[in-house]
């Protein structure tokens, strides 16, 4: 209900925190030049949408979305992979 809405992205079961400064890519590939990609600061809280071959599709609180390397995220509600 309303109480969960107030927590925003933290209430989402697949919430994650960006572990290091990176860029938000439009496609899950390193072949795309990172020069024009929007920066994504360490500590940003995101919603994980799906995983694909070492990449994770994410959505920011403002609605922007894109792809980052899966290793650049730390899940909020699950133990990180060792």
Residue 80 pLDDT more than 90? no
For residue 22, give both structure tokens. 């990176």
pLDDT at 69: 95
Task: Express each pLDDT in 34-74 by its tens digit.
Answer: 667 788 999 999 999 999 999 999 998 888 899 999 999 99
pLDDT at 30: 86
For residue 24, give both structure tokens. 């938000």
70 phi and psi angles, rounded to 5 deg: -60, -35
56 vs 12, which has greater pLDDT?
56
3-class state of residue 46 by DSSP: strand
pLDDT at 9: 61
Instruction: List CB contacts of 37: < 8 A, sequence separation 6 or more.
Output: 23, 24, 25, 26, 66
Give this prediction's pTM.
0.79
């Amino acid at each position: 209900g309303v109480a969960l809405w107030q927590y925003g992205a933290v209430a989402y079961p697949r919430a994650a925190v960006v572990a290091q400064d990176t860029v938000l890519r439009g496609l899950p590939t390193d072949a795309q030049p990172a020069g024009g990609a929007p920066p994504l600061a360490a500590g940003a809280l995101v919603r994980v949408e799906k995983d694909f071959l070492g990449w994770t599709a994410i959505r920011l609180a403002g609605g922007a979305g894109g792809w980052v390397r899966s290793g650049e995220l730390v899940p909020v509600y699950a133990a990180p992979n060792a």
